[in-house]
Amino acid sequence: MRYVVVGGFAVIAHGFHRLTKDLDVCPDPSPENLARLAAMLAELGAQHAGLGDFAPEEFPFDPTDPRQLAQGGNFRLDTPLGDLDVMQWIPGVPGELAFDHLARDAITASVRGVPVAVCSLEDLRAMKRAADRPQDRIDLEGLVIARNDV
């Protein structure tokens, strides 16, 4: 499956170490990739979680249906492995679907020896500025300090 990691784990990958309660990914919207994602979510028994900061209209109905994933929505899911946010439309990222833009400048991080695509620092900062929640402002400040940006 192809995806780009965004959110808290991307913040960590770019040097500001903090806790996060979920994994945020932006999947490649190709039909084959979305079919793999839907099958994985079905196998995990993924279920919609609380909406949190997202509006209900950002959530297609069934994340285990690749046709509904292809509509480009966002999902906040509970899985036995932890919380997962599948984000295809992301504030601060140009375009209807974010993957192509994010993948273009993504960096590669290693998680237990497995290469993982992570959004660029520039894209991460743009997402955090656009969302502008309290945690986003903390992340932006933490990234400045961690990266010695003045």
Residue 62: closest CA among 45, 52, 54, 53: 45
pLDDT for 51: 62
- Residue 25: its H or E element: strand 22-27
pLDDT for 54: 65
pLDDT for 56: 55
Which pTM was predicted?
A: 0.90
Predicted confidence (pLDDT) per residue in 97-110, tens digit: 999 999 999 999 99
Residue 139: closest CA among 3, 30, 2, 10: 10
Question: What 8-state DSSP symbol labels residue 29?
Answer: -
Q: Do 104 and 69 meet the contact criterion of CB atoms below 8 Å apart? A: no
- Residue 6: its H or E element: strand 3-6
Predicted confidence (pLDDT) per residue in 130-149, tens digit: 999 999 999 999 999 998 87
Residue 11: closest CA among 3, 76, 20: 20
Q: Do 16 and 142 meet the contact criterion of CB atoms below 8 Å apart? A: yes
Predicted confidence (pLDDT) per residue in 33-83, tens digit: 999 999 999 999 998 886 666 665 665 578 999 999 998 888 889 999 999
Task: Please determine, for residue 25, whether its predicted confidence score (pLDDT) is greater than 70.
Answer: yes
Task: Please determine, for residue 28, whether its predicted confidence score (pLDDT) is greater than 60.
Answer: yes
Question: Between 60 and 124, where is the model more confident?
Answer: 124
CATH of domain 3-145: 3.30.460.40
The separation between the first and the last C-alpha atoms of the chain, rounded to the nearest angstrom, is 37
